[in-house]
Amino acid sequence: MAGRRRNLSPWAYWRLHLDAIAAADPLPDDDAAIGAWRGRVRERLHALLGVDPVPVALDLEVTERVECDGYTRERILFDVEGAMTVPAYLLVPNGRVEPGPAMLAVHGHGAGKSAICSREVDGDEAYAHWLAQRGYVVLAPDLRCFGERSDPKWDGEGKYECDWNLVAATMAGRTPLAQNIWDMRRALDVLSTHPLVDPGRIGMCGLSYGGTITLFVAALDDRVRAAVVSCYLSSWQSAHTIPYNMCGSQIMTGMLGQLEHVDVAALIAPRALLAESGIGDYIFPVGAARTTVDQLRRVYRVVGAPGDAVAHDVFEGGHQWHGTEAYPFLERHL
């Protein structure tokens, strides 16, 4: 006699369970309720991220200076926790003598800061390099597990360092996402105190995981006056179905149903936000991105933001930095 149908696949199990999770507090239909809703979103976001580390002095150190095409590149170190230092490249345009606009540029999964600071490494996606050439002071740090912050003991071991870091952080009651957000907010401290940076004209940008960090930091920190989120802004409800997308660096316990991309992005309003979406980006679906941006436009209208404060660059291409609208967008808003 045939037995009942049995499921042996964890993937199928989680697809069933995650697909069934509904938003607990979605964007309200009533415009008058959006202000209170944003307050609740902020409370949920802080609760999911957990308690911040104890602040320490930055103790900034310059270890190297290299003359590049149109700017000087400094390798710097600064402390973010008692046992954690961040290496970064600081790109200072030649001829800058007075405070002006600056960018915090965050890399995605890959080689780390070197991938976005040298056109020889990653061509058109070297957005930190191109921003420095356009006159911005640019800070490009390494995120945890990338670049100089990748532990050499994993080389050749076939292990995924982000997920190992998630295991360690989970056992300690923390998340890698919250740790990297903390580090990048300390990076804003570095930029905002630089003598050639106007602290009221700081922007932030990033591709993929760099877009993740940009979205969260801009939502949490008003010092980010303009943000470019490249190939990330869409929705977790759609993105969780992609098995190679949600690595251990991008999640918070219990996030699905409590927060969506539109929720976090709504906290940026009325400050400027541009999303880039590749039509061929199958990691962060363009359909979900369009829906999210349409919802955001309503939020921006309700809070009285200028009409061009939120924008969406949908381009022919895949999971990549585009930049065609990003550079003029930043010039207008910084």
Tell me the pTM. Answer: 0.95
Residues 42 and 220: their CA atoms lie apart, in Å, by 8
Residues 6 or more apart whose Cβ sits within 8 Å of residue 62: 74, 75, 76, 90
Number of domains in the chain: 1
Q: Mean per-residue pLDDT for 268-279?
A: 98
**Which two structure tokens, joined as six digits, stand for 324?**
């065609």
- Evaluate whether residue 24 is within a structural domain: no
Q: Mean per-residue pLDDT for 40-61?
A: 96
- Evaluate whether residue 38 is within a structural domain: no
Backbone angles phi and psi of 257, in degrees to 5: 95, -25
CATH of the domain at 132: 3.40.50.1820
Nearest to 99 by CA among 191, 186, 185, 226: 191
Q: Which position has the token pair 């300390």?
A: 186
- Evaluate whether residue 181 is within a structural domain: yes
Percent of the chain with pLDDT over 70: 94
Sign of CA dihedral 45, 46, 47, 52: positive
- Evaluate whether residue 288 is within a structural domain: yes
- Evaluate whether residue 11 is within a structural domain: no
What are the tens digits of pLDDT across the range 188-206? 999 999 999 999 999 999 9
Backbone angles phi and psi of 42, in degrees to 5: -60, -40
Q: Mean per-residue pLDDT for 177-181?
A: 97
Range of the domain at 321: 50-333
Specify the pLDDT at position 9: 85
- Evaluate whether residue 274 is within a structural domain: yes
**Which two structure tokens, joined as six digits, stand for 7?**
């499921």
Sign of CA dihedral 240, 236, 124, 96: negative
- Evaluate whether residue 233 is within a structural domain: yes
What are the tens digits of pLDDT across the range 89-114? 999 999 999 999 999 999 999 889 99
